[in-house]
A = this chain, B = another copy of it.
């Protein structure tokens, strides 16, 4: 009888905490500022550390916070827009390419890659590893798979691996006429090697961009690029991108 209907759908604590912290970040903190440590914050809000961490995880996922072990939790800068060239239709390694070759090996690719390239399951392909940086920070790691028949003229002078080999493979790619490309974006978690290259822990959320390059009537190269989901906004289309989702709560009404 005396019980009112308020709180009929109680919000989880960590979700409420996320909202409170988010508003505090907007009004009381500036980019780069260090937050109090997790134990203090948890005590201040009267929750267990695990609950506080659940809220921080959400905010980190949304790109609002950055956490580094042994250092602390800082307010993250707005996400950086990273252009994805879906309209240019140029080969990887063309002039103005934002990527930097790191290494190149020739090995048997994962099964899914082999089937996309329509190569044999046990057939080695050139595997170029590249890195993309913005403002000095690594933002993406890429594996570019190129079947050997696509670049037959790799001279024996080139090293069997290393950055020089990577550049040679990319150079050979430019000879072909690019007929089209298709991309897909999905959420993933960083594998150990990508995580290291991106300066993150394994399992960190990443945006995986898979691009298939078509030439001579077949798939001639396949790129699997892994972008840091916490710091990147992938942009497409006519210009550099749209500036939304900074600032305070984006929810109207």
Contacts and interface: CB of A to CB of B under 8 A. Distances in A.
A62 B189 contact: yes
A53 to B, nearest CB: 12
B234 A184 contact: yes
Contacts of A208: 245
Interface stretch (A41-49, A90-98, A134-142, A235-243): A235-243
Nearest to A114: B252
A169 B109 CA distance: 50
Interface string A98-140: 0000000101111111011000000000010000000000000
A247 B188 contact: no
Contacts of A61: 187-189, 205
A111 B188 CA distance: 31
Given A110-B249, A112-B250, A184-B233, A242 B211 contact: yes
Contact of A186 (B79, B86, B188, B251): B79
- Number of chain copies forming the complex: 2
A241 B189 contact: no
Interface residues on A, range: 35 or more
A83 to B, nearest CB: 10
Interface in A215-253: 222, 224, 229-230, 232-253
A63 B116 contact: no
A185 B108 contact: no
B207 A185 contact: yes
Contacts of A245: 112, 186, 188, 208, 210
B111 A242 contact: no
A181 interface: yes
B203 A187 contact: no
Contact of A184 (B18, B186, B230, B241): B241
B246 A112 contact: yes
B58 A183 contact: no
B186 A110 contact: no
Given A61-B189, A182-B241, A224-B244, 8 more contacts: A109-B252, A111-B248, A112-B246, A180-B237, A182-B235, A183-B242, A184-B242, A186-B229
Closest 5 CB pairs of A and B: A182-B237, A187-B229, A180-B238, A186-B233, A185-B234
